[in-house]
Amino acid sequence: MGYTLNFGAVWRDFDLLLAGLALGLGMAIVSILIGCVIGLVAAFAMISKQGWLRRIAGTYVTVIRNSPPLVLILLAYFALPQVLGMRIGKLEAFIGTLAIYAGAYLTEVFRGALLALPGGLREAGLAIGLTERQTKAYVIVPVMVRNALPALSNNFISLFKDTSLAAAIAVPELTFYARQINVHSFRVVETWLVASLMYVAACYLIAAGLRQLEQRLAIPR
């Protein structure tokens, strides 16, 4: 075969790869935060008594979850500016799309967590004179979020992996740099080995960290 491993090219640009990884992480965090807001709103909409709210939220979830994220990203970056008549930055377009994509999945997570709540919880809040809004804020959402933590963690890790799609519109994240290094240096095996290892390691660390968080936030029993 005559292929000798030479990591030199990769090490030289390792700082780029790290920067790309950090950007990916940052994009994932921003997207999941926005996605959580969307997901919470939509989850409450899906269990609301108003039919039209349920239908809108349900349509949003069904359409987004069944659409390829790459198509959504291209729509946001290339097609939306045409519609709005103004240019949209790559980063904004990507994060916005990722947030909307995440929101659809998080809606299901939160909806499941809401349905798993003991029925009397809301009434107990109302019975001491809290308004619906206060009951939601102090009683329902805190318990629901704790229930949703494991699923939230899984979704975050998926989202982090999906940030690799940003490379398709030339956002300088890890995959984008890996591709560049690959093309410039022809060191194919080394580049992709290092890139994939970085993702795997990052996912592993994130998962471990989130597990710690879950244990910290868990209600003592």
Partner 1 sequence: MMELTEFFVQLWIARWAVLKGLGITAFISLLAIVLGTLLGIGVGLVLTYGGRVSRLVARIFVDYVRGTPVFVLVLASFYLLSEVGVHLTAFQAGLFALTIFCSTHVGENARGALMSLPRGQMEAGKAIGLTFPEIFIYVLAPQALRQALPTWVNTATEIVKASTLLSVIGVAELLLTAKEIIARNFLTLEFYLFAGLLFFLINFAIERGGRYVERRVALPN
Partner 2 sequence: MAELVLQIENLHKKFKDVEVLKGVDMSLATGDVVSIIGSSGSGKTTLLRCVNMLEEFHEGRILIDGEEIGYSGPQHKARKESEIARQRAMTGMVFQQFNLFPHMTVQRNVTLGLTKVKKLPVEEANSMADKWLARVGLQDRRDHYPGQLSGGQQQRVAIARAVAMNPKVMLFDEVTSALDPELVNEVLSVIKDLATEGMTMLLVTHEMKFAFEVSDRVVFMNQGRIEEEGPPEELFRKPKSQRLAEFLKSSKF
* Residue 68 touches which member of partner 2, partner 1, none, C-beta under 5-8 Å by kind: partner 1
Under the binding rule (CB under 8 A), the answer on residue 170 touching partner 1 is: no
**Cα gap 157→96, rounded to integer Å:** 18
How far the first Cα of the chain sits from its last, in Å, is 60
Picking from 2, 19, 13, the residue whose alpha carbon sits closest to that of residue 185 is 13
Q: By CB under 8 A, is residue 120 in contact with partner 2?
A: yes
- Of 10-18, 120-128, 140-148, 161-169, the segment contacting partner 1 by CB under 8 A is 161-169
Q: Per rule CB under 8 A, is residue 125 in the interface with partner 2? A: yes
Closest-CA residue to 188 (of 1, 26, 37): 1
Q: Collect all residues with Cβ–Cβ distance below 8 Å to 42 and sequence separation of at least 6.
A: 57, 60, 61, 103, 104, 107, 110
Q: Binding partner of residue 219 among partner 1, partner 2, none, CB under 5 to 8 Å per kind?
A: partner 2
Residue of 109, 90, 143 whose CA lies nearest to 35 = 109
The torsion angles phi and psi of 173, rounded to 5 degrees, stand at -105, -175
- Determine if 4 is a binding residue for partner 1 (CB under 8 A): no
Shorter beta-carbon distance to partner 1: residue 142 or 209: 209
The region of 87-95, 141-149, 183-191, 201-209 touching partner 2 under the rule CB under 8 A is 141-149
**Spatial distance between the Cα atoms of 113 and 146, rounded to a whole number of angstroms:** 9
Does position 130 bind partner 2 by CB under 8 A?
Answer: yes
The site for partner 1 (CB under 8 A) is made up of 1, 3, 62-63, 66-72, 74-75, 78-80, 82-83, 161-165, 167-168, 175, 178-179, 182, 186, 188-189, 191-192, 195-196, 199-201, 203-204
